[in-house]
Amino acid sequence: MLKRYQLKNYDFKLILLLVMICAIGVLAVGSADESLQQRQLAGVALGMTIMVVISLIDYSQLLRFYWIYYVLSVGLLGAVLIWGEEVNGATRWINIPHLFQFQPSEITKILLILFYAQFIIKHRERLNTFRILSLCVLLMLPAVVLLYMEPNLSTTILYCVLFCVLMFVGGLSYKIIGAVLAVAVPSLAVLLYLVMQPGQTLIRGYQLTRILAWLNPEQYADTEAYQQLNSVMAIGSGQLWGKGLNNNVIASVKNGNFIPEPETDFIFAVIGEELGFVGSCAVIILLFLIALECISIARQAKDLSGTIIASGMAAIIGFQSFMNIAVTTMLMPNTGIPLPFVSYGLTSLVSLFIGMGFVLNVRLQRKKIY
C-alpha cells in the first residue's frame, strides 16, 4: 500500500489553505466558548496527523475494501436509531460511555464517496444502463432514509447532492441528466406546495415551522427565527473590521447569549461580528479555494476513482459551506449544518481531514504532464 512518492508532487498549497482555515476556526471557537478551544485545537492536530498518514497510502489499494465501507456506513446510521443519544429532538449521536461520542453521518459521507468511487469505476461501461443506474440509487436509499428518520433533513439533502455529483462525475449521460431534471424540477415545486398545506405529514412540524419562520421572520421573531435574526444582526454589527476576537463589548450578540451554542452551526455569525466583513470574506475565499483545489486535483487524477474522490470532497466542502453561510445570513431556512473546518465538532473535523488525506494521495499519483 505504501509507495515511493516525489515530494514535489505533495500539495503543500492545499495544506497551507487547510492550516489557515483551521486557525480561524480555532480562534473563532475559542472566542465563542473558551473552554472548547483546546479540544478544537486537539481535533485539528489529530485530523492533520491522520490526513498525512492516509495521504501516503495508495488509495487504489484502500478502495478494494469498498463493500466494507458501504456496510459500515449503513450500519453506523442504523446504529444511531438503535443506540443513539437524543439531543434537541433529534437522534444523531452515538455515545461511548466514559470515552467519546461521535456523529456517524459525518463519517458516512466519506465512506460513501469511497464506495461509489470504486463501484462506479467497476461498472463505468454500463453506468447509463437502467440496471446499474437503479442499483446506484437503491444502494444510496438506505443511507438517505436512515438520515431522514433521525431526523436530519439538512444532511439528507447534502447526501442527495453528493450522490448527484458522484454520478455526474462518474459519467452519467447528459440525456439522462436532462430527463431527470425535467421530472425533478416540477416535482420539487409540487412537493413544496404540498409541504405548505395544513395537516401535511411529509416533514416534521418543527421543520415546517422553520420554513415558515424563514418566509415570515417577523412573525416568529421570538421563537424559530430568533437565532437567524440575531445572526444577521451580529454579522451586520461587525461592519468592515469587526469588534475583535474575545471582546467584552456589552452590545454584542455573542456576549449577550442571543445565539445559543454559537460555536457550532452559527460560528459564521461570530466571525462576522468579531472579524467583520474582511474576516467573513477571508473565510469564504479560503473555503472556495480549498474546493477549487480539490476540483483541480480531480482533473489531474490518474483514474476515474481519483476524480470521483476529489470531486466528492469538493462537493461536500462547497455545498456544506454554502448551506451554513446561507442559514446564518438568512438566505435559507435554519438547517443545522456545520461550517467545514471552522465549526466546533470533532467528528466533522476529523472526517473532513480523512477525506482530504485521500485527495492528497490522488494528487501524489496524478497523471504526468509533459
Please give the pLDDT value at position 85.
76
SS3 340: coil
Q: Quick one: what percent of the chain has pLDDT higher than 70?
A: 95
The answer to whether position 202 is within a domain reads: yes
Confidence band (pLDDT; 50, 70, 90) for 359? Answer: very high
Order of strands, sheet of 85-87, starting from the edge strand that comes earlier in the sequence:
85-87, 90-96, 100-102
Compute the CA torsion angle 224, 149, 91, 314 (nearest 10 deg): -80
Q: Is the pLDDT of residue 108 over 70?
A: yes
Q: Per-residue pLDDT tens for 239-273?
A: 999 888 877 776 676 776 777 778 888 999 999 99
The answer to whether position 338 is within a domain reads: yes
Q: Which residues form the domain of 264?
A: 22-364
The answer to whether position 2 is within a domain reads: no
The answer to whether position 13 is within a domain reads: no
Please give the pLDDT value at position 370.
42
Please give the pLDDT value at position 325.
95
Compute the CA torsion angle 107, 163, 48, 105 (nearest 10 deg): -20
Please give the pLDDT value at position 262.
85
The answer to whether position 4 is within a domain reads: no
Residues for the chain: how many in total? 370
106 closest CA partner among 81, 138, 145, 143: 143
Q: Per-residue pLDDT tens for 2-46?
A: 667 778 888 999 999 999 999 999 999 999 888 999 999 999 999
Please give the pLDDT value at position 369.
54
Query: Which phi and psi angles does 204 have, rounded to 5°?
Result: -70, 160
Distance separating alpha carbons of residues 125 and 328, to the nearest angstrom: 43
295 closest CA partner among 305, 308, 285, 283: 308
Distance separating alpha carbons of residues 273 and 266, to the nearest angstrom: 11
The answer to whether position 157 is within a domain reads: yes
Q: Which residue has the cell 503543500?
A: 12
The DSSP secondary structure of 163-226, one letter per residue, reads HHHHHHHHT--HHHHHHHHHHHHHHHHHHHHHHTSTT--SS-HHHHHHHHHHHSTTTTTTTTTH
Please give the pLDDT value at position 366.
85
Compute the CA torsion angle 134, 140, 146, 152 (nearest 10 deg): -120
Please give the pLDDT value at position 93.
77
Sorted by sequence, the CB contacts under 8 Å of residue 108 that are 6+ apart come out as 73, 74, 76, 77, 143
Domain count, the chain: 1
The answer to whether position 301 is within a domain reads: yes
Please give the pLDDT value at position 14.
96
Q: Is the pLDDT of residue 363 over 80?
A: yes
Q: Quick one: what percent of the chain has pLDDT higher than 90?
A: 56
Peptide bond into 151 cis (omega under 30): yes
Question: What does the pLDDT average to over 143-147?
Answer: 92
Please give the pLDDT value at position 313.
97
Distance separating alpha carbons of residues 4 and 364, to the nearest angstrom: 10
Decide if 121 contacts 303 (C-beta within 8 A). yes
Question: What does the pLDDT average to over 197-218?
Answer: 76
Q: Per-residue pLDDT tens for 291-346?
A: 999 999 999 999 999 999 999 999 999 999 999 999 999 988 888 789 999 999 89
Question: What does the pLDDT average to over 222-233?
Answer: 84
The DSSP secondary structure of 280-300, one letter per residue, reads HHHHHHHHHHHHHHHHHHHHT
Please give the pLDDT value at position 2.
61
The answer to whether position 17 is within a domain reads: no
Distance separating alpha carbons of residues 172 and 25, to the nearest angstrom: 37
Q: Is the pLDDT of residue 233 over 70?
A: yes
Helices and strands, counts by H and E, the chain: 13, 3
